[in-house]
Amino acid sequence: MLTCHPSTGGLHGAVTVPGDKSISHRAVMFGALASGDTHITGFLMGEDCLSTISCFRQMGVKIDVSDDEVVVHGAGMHGLQEPSELLYTGNSGTTTRLLCGILAGQPFRSVLSGDASIQKRPMGRIIKPLREMGANIDGKDGNLCPLTVSGSALHGITYTLPVASAQLKSAILLAGLFAEGETTVIEPAPSRDHTERMLRGLGVDVRTDGNVITLTPPEQLTAVDVAVPGDISSAAYFLVAGCIVPNSEITIRNVGINPTRTGILDVLRDMGADIELVNCTDDVEPVCDIIVRSSRLHGTRIGGDIIPRLIDELPVIAVAAAFAEGETVICDAQELKVKESNRIAAMVSELSKTGCDITETEDGMVIRGGKPLHGAQFACYADHRVAMSMAVCALACEGDSVLEDPDCVAISYPTFFDALHGLEG
């Protein structure tokens, strides 16, 4: 239990958010498959990324973790060893799904599973294309973890994704590294493209033409150091807090602004947010500092192709909408139901407790915002993004709130509450 007080004087100062979760996972995975050492700075020491490290250690990869960097001593594309025990992926969908793509191409048998949430998440979406590629992969009841994968020869396929999912796209592309011939993935809408960018950086021929991505299997991967930018999904909590808490001005430093991830900036600006991007640089991934100031927000409509560009930010966007004047409609977001929790049901239930006028729909929610909200006792559903979203909400409510399971923030942002309090002055 954690008691959260409303902010009295506003939020001020600068915050550096932890490293990007998606990039941190991939840096370890690709480093493990590369020849040579990969030095990773800015790595996210959250539970999800630590699950990825521990799975690769189980397959014989030497990984050194110190305060300022993670060093992956690459095993090479064909150097992973058969794990003697189940690969435990914890709460991490990215670890589970991307790892399956890699395991599909290994000449050994492995079993992987995770916590109660992972055991409920759909895996049929990766099983189907990987089987088409020739993989020997099976899941409990055909769709769930534990997943069993045993080595077989793979061949490239052309696959149209039924959902815009970077995890699914990446699982297929990673299996494609070990396949004979080219692998092509067609996306219904662009999802985060870190896999494509990073594989290109490792020398792999990955071509993107609109929504069509084609990979030619390489002979080997050559290790490249990775500087992980701050995670815009973690910055999202400060972006919304800065907008809805009166008298605030926050600088969020070193945030990754890959265009496949910046839907939240577009939506908040569309709602009237005062957001400025400064000190922009562009290497493998574009990065900048973001300044956000208290803003009078108004409702908006969020749906269509923007959804994959802000999928993880929708819980905290719902909080912004609760404090925005007028109606916000979120649609085309059915994927939210199969995240770490059912995030539509969770956010509708928790925001309702504050007196917010919010209705669940088939594929999203409708929020009629702008009236004063009051603190309450919030459940977190063991979901880090629900916990951080409700902590932000509590700052702008009247009266205290209680978070029932604050520790789950350690999945992606172990020092979140310290960072938030640091801005309260």
* Interface ranges with ligand S3P (CB under 6 A): 22, 94, 165-167, 170, 191-192, 311-312, 335
For CA atoms 120, 178, 213, 221, give the dihedral sign.
Answer: positive
Nearest residue (CB) to ligand S3P, 4 versus 198: 198
Residue with smaller CB distance to ligand S3P, 58 or 96: 96
| DSSP state letters, 29-54 | HHHHHSBSEEEEES---SHHHHHHHH
Point out which residues pair with 398 in neighbouring strands: 374
Query: Which residue in 141, 312, 363, 400 is the catalytic one?
Result: 312
Strand spans (E) along 69-222 = 70-73, 87-88, 109-113, 136-140, 144-150, 154-155, 158-160, 179-180, 183-186, 205-209, 212-216
Q: Which regions of 303-347 does DSSP assign to beta strands (E)?
A: 326-330
Question: Does 312 qualify as catalytic in the annotation?
Answer: yes
Residue 354 Cβ vs ligand S3P, minimum distance, rounded to whole Å? 25
Minimum Å gap between C-beta 23 and ligand S3P is 8
For ligand S3P, the closer of residues 239 and 423 by Cβ is 239
State in angstroms the smallest separation of the CB of 84 from ligand S3P. 28
Q: 3-class DSSP state for residue 282? A: strand
3-state helix, strand, coil in the chain (%, to 5): 35, 30, 35
- The residue of the chain with the least Cβ separation from ligand S3P equals 22
Q: Smaller CB distance to ligand S3P: residue 152 or 334?
A: 334
DSSP 8-class letter at 243: H
Distance of closest approach, residue 184 Cβ to ligand S3P, in angstroms = 18
Q: Pick from 265, 344, 260, 266: which is nearest to 309 by CA? A: 260
Q: What phi and psi, each to the nearest 5 degrees, are found at residue 130? A: -65, -40
CB 283 within 8 A of CB 46: no
The residue (of 244 and 267) whose beta carbon lies closer to ligand S3P is 267
Closest separation in Å from C-beta 311 to ligand S3P: 5
| Spatial separation of the C-alpha atoms in residues 249 and 266, rounded to whole Å | 19
Which residues are annotated as catalytic?
A: 312
